[in-house]
Structure 1
Amino acid sequence: MSRTGRRGVLRTVREDLAAARRGDPAARGDLENALLYPGLHAVWTHRLTHRLWIAEGLPGSRFVARLLGQVARAVTGIEIHPGARIGRRCFIDHGMGVVIGETAVVGDDVLVFHGVTLGGRGLQHGPGTRRHPVVGDRVVLGAGSSLIGAITVGSDSVVGANTVVTKDVPAGSVVTGVAGTARPRTGHEGVPSL
Protein backbone atom coordinates (compact mmCIF):
# COMPACT_ATOMS: atom_id res chain seq x y z
CA MET A 1 0.00 0.00 0.00
CA SER A 2 1.32 3.43 -0.87
CA ARG A 3 2.05 6.09 1.72
CA THR A 4 -0.96 8.05 0.46
CA GLY A 5 -3.16 4.95 0.85
CA ARG A 6 -1.92 4.34 4.41
CA ARG A 7 -2.48 7.99 5.33
CA GLY A 8 -5.99 7.78 3.93
CA VAL A 9 -6.76 4.66 5.97
CA LEU A 10 -5.31 6.18 9.14
CA ARG A 11 -7.26 9.41 8.58
CA THR A 12 -10.46 7.40 8.14
CA VAL A 13 -9.80 5.38 11.31
CA ARG A 14 -9.13 8.60 13.27
CA GLU A 15 -12.34 10.15 11.92
CA ASP A 16 -14.36 7.05 12.86
CA LEU A 17 -12.89 7.04 16.38
CA ALA A 18 -13.73 10.73 16.76
CA ALA A 19 -17.29 9.98 15.58
CA ALA A 20 -17.55 7.31 18.29
CA ARG A 21 -16.46 9.83 20.93
CA ARG A 22 -19.03 12.36 19.68
CA GLY A 23 -21.84 9.83 19.31
CA ASP A 24 -21.44 7.93 22.58
CA PRO A 25 -21.12 9.77 25.89
CA ALA A 26 -19.87 6.51 27.46
CA ALA A 27 -16.88 6.30 25.09
CA ARG A 28 -13.78 6.13 27.28
CA GLY A 29 -10.86 6.24 24.88
CA ASP A 30 -9.74 5.45 21.36
CA LEU A 31 -7.94 2.22 22.20
CA GLU A 32 -10.93 0.81 24.08
CA ASN A 33 -13.30 1.98 21.35
CA ALA A 34 -11.16 0.47 18.58
CA LEU A 35 -10.97 -2.88 20.35
CA LEU A 36 -14.46 -3.16 21.84
CA TYR A 37 -17.00 -1.26 19.70
CA PRO A 38 -18.79 -3.63 17.29
CA GLY A 39 -20.22 -0.68 15.35
CA LEU A 40 -16.72 0.45 14.46
CA HIS A 41 -15.70 -3.10 13.51
CA ALA A 42 -18.75 -3.46 11.25
CA VAL A 43 -18.10 -0.14 9.49
CA TRP A 44 -14.39 -0.88 9.06
CA THR A 45 -15.13 -4.32 7.65
CA HIS A 46 -17.71 -2.77 5.34
CA ARG A 47 -15.15 -0.32 3.97
CA LEU A 48 -13.07 -3.33 2.89
CA THR A 49 -15.98 -5.42 1.59
CA HIS A 50 -17.37 -2.47 -0.40
CA ARG A 51 -14.02 -2.01 -2.16
CA LEU A 52 -14.08 -5.70 -3.07
CA TRP A 53 -17.72 -5.43 -4.20
CA ILE A 54 -17.02 -2.63 -6.65
CA ALA A 55 -13.67 -4.04 -7.85
CA GLU A 56 -13.94 -4.78 -11.55
CA GLY A 57 -11.85 -7.47 -13.15
CA LEU A 58 -11.01 -9.19 -9.86
CA PRO A 59 -12.45 -12.72 -10.12
CA GLY A 60 -14.34 -13.84 -7.03
CA SER A 61 -14.20 -10.42 -5.35
CA ARG A 62 -17.96 -10.26 -4.78
CA PHE A 63 -17.98 -13.73 -3.24
CA VAL A 64 -15.12 -12.77 -0.90
CA ALA A 65 -16.92 -9.51 -0.05
CA ARG A 66 -20.10 -11.38 0.90
CA LEU A 67 -18.11 -13.96 2.88
CA LEU A 68 -16.27 -11.28 4.89
CA GLY A 69 -19.56 -9.43 5.41
CA GLN A 70 -21.15 -12.56 6.85
CA VAL A 71 -18.18 -13.13 9.17
CA ALA A 72 -18.53 -9.53 10.39
CA ARG A 73 -22.27 -10.11 10.88
CA ALA A 74 -21.60 -13.21 13.00
CA VAL A 75 -19.06 -11.34 15.14
CA THR A 76 -20.83 -7.98 15.51
CA GLY A 77 -24.54 -8.69 15.03
CA ILE A 78 -24.57 -5.96 12.35
CA GLU A 79 -25.32 -6.80 8.72
CA ILE A 80 -24.18 -4.36 6.06
CA HIS A 81 -24.41 -5.54 2.47
CA PRO A 82 -21.12 -4.92 0.62
CA GLY A 83 -23.02 -3.00 -2.07
CA ALA A 84 -24.31 -0.39 0.37
CA ARG A 85 -22.55 2.98 0.37
CA ILE A 86 -21.59 4.33 3.80
CA GLY A 87 -20.30 7.88 4.20
CA ARG A 88 -17.55 9.24 6.39
CA ARG A 89 -17.74 9.26 10.17
CA CYS A 90 -20.79 6.98 10.34
CA PHE A 91 -21.10 5.61 13.88
CA ILE A 92 -23.23 2.62 14.83
CA ASP A 93 -23.80 2.73 18.60
CA HIS A 94 -24.29 -0.71 20.20
CA GLY A 95 -25.41 -1.94 16.80
CA MET A 96 -26.93 -5.35 17.48
CA GLY A 97 -29.60 -6.05 14.89
CA VAL A 98 -28.69 -3.27 12.45
CA VAL A 99 -29.39 -4.25 8.82
CA ILE A 100 -28.32 -2.10 5.87
CA GLY A 101 -29.40 -3.36 2.45
CA GLU A 102 -27.53 -3.55 -0.84
CA THR A 103 -28.66 -0.32 -2.49
CA ALA A 104 -28.79 1.79 0.69
CA VAL A 105 -26.79 5.02 0.82
CA VAL A 106 -25.80 6.52 4.18
CA GLY A 107 -24.41 10.05 4.25
CA ASP A 108 -21.63 11.57 6.34
CA ASP A 109 -21.80 12.01 10.14
CA VAL A 110 -24.78 9.67 10.57
CA LEU A 111 -25.48 8.20 14.02
CA VAL A 112 -27.21 4.79 13.94
CA PHE A 113 -28.55 3.10 17.08
CA HIS A 114 -29.22 -0.62 17.57
CA GLY A 115 -31.97 -2.44 15.71
CA VAL A 116 -32.14 -0.02 12.77
CA THR A 117 -33.21 -1.44 9.39
CA LEU A 118 -32.53 0.19 6.03
CA GLY A 119 -34.60 -2.32 4.12
CA GLY A 120 -35.88 -2.85 0.64
CA ARG A 121 -39.41 -3.02 -0.64
CA GLY A 122 -40.23 -5.06 -3.68
CA LEU A 123 -38.24 -7.53 -5.72
CA GLN A 124 -36.92 -5.24 -8.45
CA HIS A 125 -33.33 -5.82 -9.40
CA GLY A 126 -30.82 -4.96 -12.07
CA PRO A 127 -28.33 -2.19 -12.75
CA GLY A 128 -29.44 1.19 -11.43
CA THR A 129 -32.41 -0.20 -9.48
CA ARG A 130 -32.65 1.29 -6.01
CA ARG A 131 -34.67 -0.66 -3.43
CA HIS A 132 -33.29 0.78 -0.19
CA PRO A 133 -33.25 4.19 1.52
CA VAL A 134 -30.90 7.10 0.99
CA VAL A 135 -30.01 8.77 4.30
CA GLY A 136 -28.63 12.32 4.17
CA ASP A 137 -25.80 13.85 6.21
CA ARG A 138 -25.97 14.39 10.00
CA VAL A 139 -29.02 12.17 10.45
CA VAL A 140 -29.79 10.34 13.71
CA LEU A 141 -31.56 6.98 13.34
CA GLY A 142 -33.18 6.01 16.65
CA ALA A 143 -33.14 2.50 18.10
CA GLY A 144 -35.40 0.06 16.30
CA SER A 145 -36.35 2.45 13.51
CA SER A 146 -37.12 0.98 10.09
CA LEU A 147 -36.65 2.88 6.85
CA ILE A 148 -38.22 0.84 4.08
CA GLY A 149 -38.02 1.24 0.32
CA ALA A 150 -36.44 3.66 -2.14
CA ILE A 151 -37.05 6.69 0.06
CA THR A 152 -34.86 9.63 1.00
CA VAL A 153 -34.34 10.97 4.51
CA GLY A 154 -33.09 14.53 4.23
CA SER A 155 -29.98 15.81 5.97
CA ASP A 156 -30.13 17.05 9.57
CA SER A 157 -33.16 14.90 10.38
CA VAL A 158 -33.90 12.71 13.38
CA VAL A 159 -35.83 9.44 13.09
CA GLY A 160 -37.30 8.50 16.46
CA ALA A 161 -36.98 5.12 18.12
CA ASN A 162 -39.22 2.40 16.65
CA THR A 163 -40.44 4.71 13.89
CA VAL A 164 -41.40 3.14 10.57
CA VAL A 165 -40.60 5.39 7.61
CA THR A 166 -42.02 4.54 4.18
CA LYS A 167 -42.12 8.00 2.57
CA ASP A 168 -39.53 10.69 1.86
CA VAL A 169 -38.56 12.90 4.80
CA PRO A 170 -37.66 16.56 4.19
CA ALA A 171 -34.32 17.85 5.44
CA GLY A 172 -34.32 19.15 9.01
CA SER A 173 -37.26 17.01 10.18
CA VAL A 174 -38.11 14.88 13.17
CA VAL A 175 -39.96 11.69 12.25
CA THR A 176 -41.93 9.68 14.80
CA GLY A 177 -44.64 7.05 14.82
CA VAL A 178 -45.82 4.14 12.75
CA ALA A 179 -45.93 5.05 9.87
CA GLY A 180 -43.76 8.01 10.63
CA THR A 181 -44.91 11.57 10.16
CA ALA A 182 -42.45 14.43 9.68
CA ARG A 183 -42.48 17.84 11.34
CA PRO A 184 -39.88 20.63 11.38
CA ARG A 185 -36.99 20.24 13.80
CA THR A 186 -36.92 22.64 16.74
CA GLY A 187 -33.41 21.90 17.99
CA HIS A 188 -34.73 20.66 21.36
CA GLU A 189 -35.04 16.97 20.52
CA GLY A 190 -32.40 15.87 23.03
CA VAL A 191 -30.07 14.24 20.49
CA PRO A 192 -26.38 14.98 20.04
CA SER A 193 -25.39 17.49 17.43
CA LEU A 194 -23.07 15.90 14.91
Structure 2
Amino acid sequence: MLTTGSGRKPVSQSVRDAVAAVREDLDAALLRDPATTSRLEMALASPGLQALWAHRVSHRMWQRGGRWRLPARLVSQAARAATGVEIHPGATIGRRFFIDHGMGVVIGETAEVGDDVMLYHGVTLGGRSLDRVKRHPTVGDGVTIGAGARVLGPVFIGPHSQIGANAVVVKDVPPQAIATGIPAKVRFPQSPSVQPDLYADPELWI
Protein backbone atom coordinates (compact mmCIF):
# COMPACT_ATOMS: atom_id res chain seq x y z
CA MET A 1 0.00 0.00 0.00
CA LEU A 2 1.33 3.46 -0.89
CA THR A 3 2.09 5.76 2.01
CA THR A 4 2.90 9.45 2.24
CA GLY A 5 5.92 8.89 4.48
CA SER A 6 6.79 7.88 8.02
CA GLY A 7 4.03 8.55 10.53
CA ARG A 8 1.52 9.68 7.93
CA LYS A 9 -1.72 8.12 6.71
CA PRO A 10 -1.67 5.81 3.70
CA VAL A 11 -2.49 7.63 0.48
CA SER A 12 -5.64 5.55 0.00
CA GLN A 13 -6.90 6.50 3.48
CA SER A 14 -6.17 10.18 2.88
CA VAL A 15 -8.18 10.04 -0.35
CA ARG A 16 -11.11 8.35 1.43
CA ASP A 17 -10.99 10.97 4.18
CA ALA A 18 -11.01 13.79 1.61
CA VAL A 19 -13.98 12.28 -0.25
CA ALA A 20 -15.88 11.83 3.02
CA ALA A 21 -15.19 15.45 3.99
CA VAL A 22 -16.48 16.71 0.62
CA ARG A 23 -19.66 14.67 0.99
CA GLU A 24 -20.13 15.97 4.51
CA ASP A 25 -19.77 19.57 3.28
CA LEU A 26 -22.25 18.91 0.46
CA ASP A 27 -24.84 17.31 2.72
CA ALA A 28 -24.53 20.13 5.28
CA ALA A 29 -25.03 22.68 2.50
CA LEU A 30 -28.07 20.86 1.12
CA LEU A 31 -29.71 20.97 4.56
CA ARG A 32 -29.32 24.77 4.60
CA ASP A 33 -30.17 25.64 1.00
CA PRO A 34 -33.70 24.68 -0.09
CA ALA A 35 -33.05 26.09 -3.57
CA THR A 36 -30.65 23.25 -4.40
CA THR A 37 -31.70 19.62 -4.68
CA SER A 38 -28.60 17.57 -5.54
CA ARG A 39 -24.98 17.19 -4.54
CA LEU A 40 -23.90 17.76 -8.13
CA GLU A 41 -25.76 21.05 -8.43
CA MET A 42 -24.42 22.19 -5.08
CA ALA A 43 -20.84 21.32 -6.02
CA LEU A 44 -21.04 23.11 -9.36
CA ALA A 45 -23.12 26.14 -8.42
CA SER A 46 -22.29 27.07 -4.82
CA PRO A 47 -19.54 29.71 -4.61
CA GLY A 48 -19.52 29.39 -0.83
CA LEU A 49 -18.65 25.71 -1.01
CA GLN A 50 -16.09 26.26 -3.76
CA ALA A 51 -14.42 28.94 -1.64
CA LEU A 52 -14.40 26.59 1.35
CA TRP A 53 -12.75 23.79 -0.63
CA ALA A 54 -10.12 26.17 -1.98
CA HIS A 55 -9.49 27.27 1.59
CA ARG A 56 -9.02 23.68 2.76
CA VAL A 57 -6.19 23.40 0.21
CA SER A 58 -4.62 26.80 0.91
CA HIS A 59 -4.81 26.29 4.69
CA ARG A 60 -2.83 23.03 4.49
CA MET A 61 -0.24 24.81 2.37
CA TRP A 62 -0.11 27.70 4.85
CA GLN A 63 0.47 25.32 7.76
CA ARG A 64 3.55 23.92 6.03
CA GLY A 65 5.11 27.40 6.25
CA GLY A 66 8.15 28.72 4.46
CA ARG A 67 7.98 28.66 0.68
CA TRP A 68 4.39 27.34 0.80
CA ARG A 69 3.01 30.60 2.18
CA LEU A 70 3.04 32.54 -1.10
CA PRO A 71 1.36 29.74 -3.13
CA ALA A 72 -1.24 29.50 -0.38
CA ARG A 73 -2.01 33.20 -0.76
CA LEU A 74 -2.24 32.84 -4.53
CA VAL A 75 -4.75 29.99 -4.18
CA SER A 76 -6.85 32.12 -1.83
CA GLN A 77 -6.72 35.08 -4.22
CA ALA A 78 -7.76 32.89 -7.15
CA ALA A 79 -10.70 31.64 -5.08
CA ARG A 80 -11.60 35.23 -4.23
CA ALA A 81 -11.64 36.19 -7.91
CA ALA A 82 -13.77 33.17 -8.81
CA THR A 83 -16.25 33.21 -5.91
CA GLY A 84 -16.27 36.68 -4.34
CA VAL A 85 -15.31 35.10 -0.99
CA GLU A 86 -12.01 36.02 0.66
CA ILE A 87 -10.69 33.60 3.28
CA HIS A 88 -7.12 34.09 4.42
CA PRO A 89 -5.27 30.75 4.31
CA GLY A 90 -4.26 31.21 7.94
CA ALA A 91 -7.88 31.13 9.15
CA THR A 92 -9.10 27.96 10.86
CA ILE A 93 -12.46 26.64 9.61
CA GLY A 94 -14.38 23.76 11.22
CA ARG A 95 -16.54 21.01 9.75
CA ARG A 96 -19.86 21.46 7.93
CA PHE A 97 -19.23 25.17 7.40
CA PHE A 98 -21.51 26.86 4.86
CA ILE A 99 -21.61 30.30 3.25
CA ASP A 100 -24.95 31.04 1.60
CA HIS A 101 -24.65 33.15 -1.59
CA GLY A 102 -21.10 34.00 -0.60
CA MET A 103 -20.41 37.33 -2.30
CA GLY A 104 -18.48 39.78 -0.15
CA VAL A 105 -17.58 37.46 2.73
CA VAL A 106 -14.18 38.24 4.31
CA ILE A 107 -12.51 36.03 6.92
CA GLY A 108 -9.22 37.24 8.37
CA GLU A 109 -5.96 35.43 9.07
CA THR A 110 -6.41 34.66 12.78
CA ALA A 111 -10.14 33.93 12.67
CA GLU A 112 -11.23 30.61 14.15
CA VAL A 113 -14.59 29.16 13.10
CA GLY A 114 -16.16 26.13 14.77
CA ASP A 115 -18.30 23.33 13.38
CA ASP A 116 -21.77 23.78 11.84
CA VAL A 117 -21.38 27.53 11.36
CA MET A 118 -23.38 29.36 8.68
CA LEU A 119 -22.60 32.78 7.20
CA TYR A 120 -24.70 34.81 4.78
CA HIS A 121 -23.31 37.15 2.14
CA GLY A 122 -21.38 40.26 3.06
CA VAL A 123 -20.19 38.97 6.47
CA THR A 124 -16.82 40.20 7.72
CA LEU A 125 -14.79 38.44 10.41
CA GLY A 126 -12.26 41.22 10.63
CA GLY A 127 -9.55 42.72 12.80
CA ARG A 128 -9.19 45.95 14.75
CA SER A 129 -5.41 45.91 15.13
CA LEU A 130 -2.36 46.02 12.86
CA ASP A 131 -0.25 44.06 15.35
CA ARG A 132 0.76 40.49 14.47
CA VAL A 133 -1.36 38.96 17.22
CA LYS A 134 -4.68 37.16 17.52
CA ARG A 135 -6.81 39.96 16.06
CA HIS A 136 -9.83 38.26 14.46
CA PRO A 137 -12.94 36.64 15.96
CA THR A 138 -13.41 33.15 17.35
CA VAL A 139 -16.80 31.77 16.36
CA GLY A 140 -18.24 28.86 18.34
CA ASP A 141 -20.09 25.82 17.02
CA GLY A 142 -23.54 26.21 15.53
CA VAL A 143 -23.43 30.00 15.10
CA THR A 144 -25.40 31.76 12.35
CA ILE A 145 -24.29 35.22 11.17
CA GLY A 146 -26.73 37.25 9.07
CA ALA A 147 -26.05 39.15 5.85
CA GLY A 148 -23.77 42.17 6.10
CA ALA A 149 -22.78 41.62 9.73
CA ARG A 150 -19.34 42.77 10.89
CA VAL A 151 -17.67 40.89 13.72
CA LEU A 152 -14.48 42.76 14.55
CA GLY A 153 -11.51 42.05 16.77
CA PRO A 154 -10.53 39.04 18.90
CA VAL A 155 -14.05 38.64 20.26
CA PHE A 156 -15.66 35.31 21.13
CA ILE A 157 -19.05 34.41 19.65
CA GLY A 158 -20.55 31.75 21.89
CA PRO A 159 -21.90 28.45 20.54
CA HIS A 160 -25.38 28.45 19.00
CA SER A 161 -25.71 32.23 19.12
CA GLN A 162 -27.16 34.35 16.31
CA ILE A 163 -25.77 37.57 14.85
CA GLY A 164 -28.35 39.72 13.06
CA ALA A 165 -28.03 41.15 9.58
CA ASN A 166 -25.86 44.30 9.41
CA ALA A 167 -24.96 44.05 13.09
CA VAL A 168 -21.57 45.37 14.19
CA VAL A 169 -20.14 43.17 16.95
CA VAL A 170 -17.09 44.37 18.90
CA LYS A 171 -17.69 42.55 22.21
CA ASP A 172 -18.10 38.91 23.19
CA VAL A 173 -21.50 37.31 22.63
CA PRO A 174 -22.61 34.64 25.15
CA PRO A 175 -23.77 31.19 24.03
CA GLN A 176 -27.34 30.93 22.67
CA ALA A 177 -27.70 34.71 22.60
CA ILE A 178 -29.00 37.04 19.89
CA ALA A 179 -26.92 40.09 18.91
CA THR A 180 -28.43 42.82 16.73
CA GLY A 181 -27.84 46.49 15.95
CA ILE A 182 -24.95 48.96 15.68
CA PRO A 183 -23.18 48.50 18.00
CA ALA A 184 -24.71 45.10 18.65
CA LYS A 185 -26.81 44.60 21.77
CA VAL A 186 -27.22 41.15 23.26
CA ARG A 187 -30.46 39.55 24.36
CA PHE A 188 -31.68 36.02 24.97
CA PRO A 189 -34.65 34.00 23.73
CA GLN A 190 -37.49 33.49 26.20
CA SER A 191 -36.35 29.97 26.99
CA PRO A 192 -32.55 29.61 27.33
CA SER A 193 -32.87 25.91 26.52
CA VAL A 194 -34.20 26.68 23.04
CA GLN A 195 -31.84 27.78 20.29
CA PRO A 196 -32.84 31.14 18.74
CA ASP A 197 -34.79 30.84 15.49
CA LEU A 198 -33.18 33.08 12.89
CA TYR A 199 -36.17 32.82 10.56
CA ALA A 200 -38.80 33.67 13.18
CA ASP A 201 -37.23 36.90 14.40
CA PRO A 202 -37.55 39.86 11.97
CA GLU A 203 -35.03 41.97 13.93
CA LEU A 204 -32.29 39.57 12.90
CA TRP A 205 -32.79 40.71 9.30
CA ILE A 206 -32.85 44.49 9.87
- TM class by shorter-chain length? over 0.9
Identical aligned pairs, as a percentage?
52
Task: Give the corresponding residue for 2:173.
Answer: 169
Q: Which runs of 5+ in 1 are unaligned?
A: none
Does 1:184 find its partner at 2:193?
Answer: no
Cα distance in 1 for residues equivalent to 2:73 and 2:171: 29
Cα distance in 2 for residues equivalent to 1:40 and 1:188: 25
Q: Which contiguous aligned blocks of 4+ residues in structure 1 show a shift greater than 6 angstroms?
A: none
Task: Give the corresponding residue for 1:139.
Answer: 143
Show the 5 A alignment for 1:114-153.
114-125=121-132, 129-153=133-157
Cα distance in 2 for residues equivalent to 1:15 and 1:174: 28
Offset at residue 118 of structure 1 (A): 0.2
TM-score, length basis structure 2: 0.88
Cα distance in 2 for residues equivalent to 1:34 and 1:185: 35
Partner letter of residue 84 of structure 1?
Answer: A
Does 1:44 find its partner at 2:48?
Answer: no
Partner letter of residue 38 of structure 1?
Answer: P
Offset at residue 188 of structure 1 (A): 5.4
Task: Give the corresponding residue for 1:19.
Answer: 28
Task: Give the corresponding residue for 2:203.
Answer: none
User: What is the SS of the residue equivalent to 1:49?
Assistant: helix
CA distances 1:101-152 after superposition (whole Å, capped 9, x unpaired): 0000010000110000000001111xxx200000000000100000000100
Partner letter of residue 177 of structure 1?
Answer: G
Task: Give the corresponding residue for 1:28.
Answer: 37
CA distances 1:163-190 after superposition (whole Å, capped 9, x unpaired): 0000000001111000101111344534
Task: Give the corresponding residue for 1:112.
Answer: 119
TM-score, length basis structure 1: 0.93
Cα distance in 2 for residues equivalent to 1:116 and 1:140: 11
Offset at residue 60 of structure 1 (A): 1.9
Partner letter of residue 155 of structure 1?
Answer: P
Does 1:7 find its partner at 2:16?
Answer: yes
Bigger RCO (CA 8 Å, 6+ sep): 1
Aligned length: 187
Bigger radius of gyration: 2
After superposition, the Cα gap between the structure-2 partners of 1:109 and 1:36, relative to the gap in structure 1 and judged at 3 Å, is same
- Could you tell me whether the CA contact under 8 Å between 1:157 and 1:185 is conserved in 2? no
Cα distance in 2 for residues equivalent to 1:185 and 1:30: 34
Q: Which runs of 5+ in 2 are unaligned?
A: 5-10, 201-206
Does 1:63 find its partner at 2:70?
Answer: yes
- Could you tell me whether the CA contact under 8 Å between 2:177 and 2:196 is conserved in 1? no
Alignment root-mean-square deviation, CA: 1.4
